[in-house]
């Protein structure tokens, strides 16, 4: 049921993946675009005036205070999920037949 991806140019392999060492975006990011994550990371790395520690360190201290001293259960849950990850969940197949292929189709 699956079709071979179409080779869309010299930068692609026959299976549709990019060839090694070839950029999928040779023109780079468009001018004027920015990343909120990059801006946030830059701001967190800064040390606020009159402080000894970075904003990231101060944020972590505040989160830990809320969890430990204030007993904020949601903060405790968030910390555990970030550190340990979400608990693994298993899904039991209740069908007699094994599912070997699932097909999804998106319509516009």
Q: How many CB atoms lie within 10 A of CB 48?
A: 11
Work out whether the CA dihedral 46, 47, 48, 53 comes out positive or negative: positive
How far is Cα of residue 89 from the mean position of the Cα atoms in its chain?
20
Query: For residue 7, what pLDDT is reported?
Result: 47
Task: List beta partners, residue 18.
Answer: 12
Segment 52-80, tens digit of pLDDT: 999 999 999 999 999 999 999 999 999 99
Query: pTM of the full predicted structure?
Result: 0.52
Chain mean pLDDT for the chain: 83
Q: List the structure tokens of 102.
A: 């699932």
**More confidently predicted of 4 and 92:** 92
Can you tell me the distance from the alpha carbon of 49 to that of 36, in angstroms, rounded to the nearest whole number? 23
């Amino acid at each position: 049921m699956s079709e071979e991806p179409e080779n869309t140019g010299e930068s692609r392999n026959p299976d549709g993946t990019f060839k090694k060492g070839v950029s999928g975006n040779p023109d780079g990011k468009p001018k004027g675009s920015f990343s909120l994550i990059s801006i946030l990371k830059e701001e967190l790395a800064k040390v606020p005036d009159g402080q000894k520690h970075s904003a990231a360190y101060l944020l972590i201290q505040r989160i830990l205070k809320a969890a430990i001293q204030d007993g904020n259960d949601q903060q405790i849950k968030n910390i555990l999920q970030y550190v340990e990850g979400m608990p693994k969940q298993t899904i039991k197949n209740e069908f007699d037949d094994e599912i070997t292929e699932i097909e999804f189709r998106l319509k516009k």
